[in-house]
Homo-oligomer: A and B are copies of this chain.
Amino acid sequence: MFKAEIKSDTMKGLVNIVSTLIDEVKFTVDPEGMSLKAVDPAHVAMIELRISAGAFESYVADETEIGLDLDKVKSVLKLASSGDIIAMEQDDDHGKLVFRVGNITRRMHLVDTSGMSDPKVPQLSLSAKVRIAVDELQQGIRASETISDHIALTASPEGFELSCEGDTDSVSLIVPKDKLESLEAEGTYCSLFPLDYFANLVKAIPAGTIVNIELDKDYPINIRFQIAEGKGKVDYLLAPRIESD
């Protein structure tokens, strides 16, 4: 059983993040909230998301699984204005989720979750920790997009750097230590990442959000941030590109 009401803005924020990675998702539902673990088809990135019952306007649920096609959910979200409430209710007999927005009722076929296993989230111990406003990352991405397909992220005792090296041109954005929310880096830690994955995620995070970045040398990056006004949490892991010499 699953029956809940949520602000359309909260749901939009959540769907925007997850749909950068995958189209069909399995939410694991329990009385305390919903969670999701997913990898993209190319196994380059992984997302782990948890949103508590408190993020909803109302929430009643047993343990269950809900498989959603996010493109369909987006078409429902388009019917809601900012401030609208979206009501959802699982219809067990028919494998459907019923959405209500104003006087519209939308019955959505659920995706079969039987073949969707949860990926194993690796336990990483990463040396450098940076807290930074996502707006800085967004500016760095805008500067990088015409230069190369990869972006280098570097944490050092001086600050945090996004840089991109093309065949003829290069660009870098340096955020000095005093412009960061916090910085822990005893040495210099740099890894190279696919720009499209990094850019799609960073663009989907609302302006003003503070993100926690954990980084190491030629290691995956962990990007952690809150959603749903602090009632939800996202961990995003992105594999590095290792350059062979």
Contact = CB atoms under 8 A, between A and B. Distances in A.
Count the copies.
3
A121 interface: no
Interface in A154-189: 168-176, 179
Given A109-B169, A169-B109, A104 B146 contact: no
Interface string A93-124: 00000000011111111000000000000000
A139 interface: yes
Interface residues of A, number: 28
Interface stretch (A56-64, A71-79, A223-231): A71-79
Nearest to A175: B103
A40 B75 CA distance: 30
A146 B140 CA distance: 36
A79 B142 contact: yes
A133 interface: no
A143 interface: yes
Contacts of A104: 139-140, 143, 171-173
Given A72-B169, A169-B72, A142 B107 contact: no
A103 B168 contact: no
Interface of A: 72, 75, 78-79, 102-109, 139-140, 142-143, 145-146, 168-176, 179
23 contacts: A72-B169, A75-B145, A78-B142, A79-B139, A79-B143, A102-B139, A103-B173, A103-B174, A103-B176, A104-B139, A104-B143, A104-B171, A104-B172, A104-B173, A105-B172, A105-B174, A106-B143, A106-B169, A106-B170, A107-B169, A107-B170, A108-B169, A109-B169
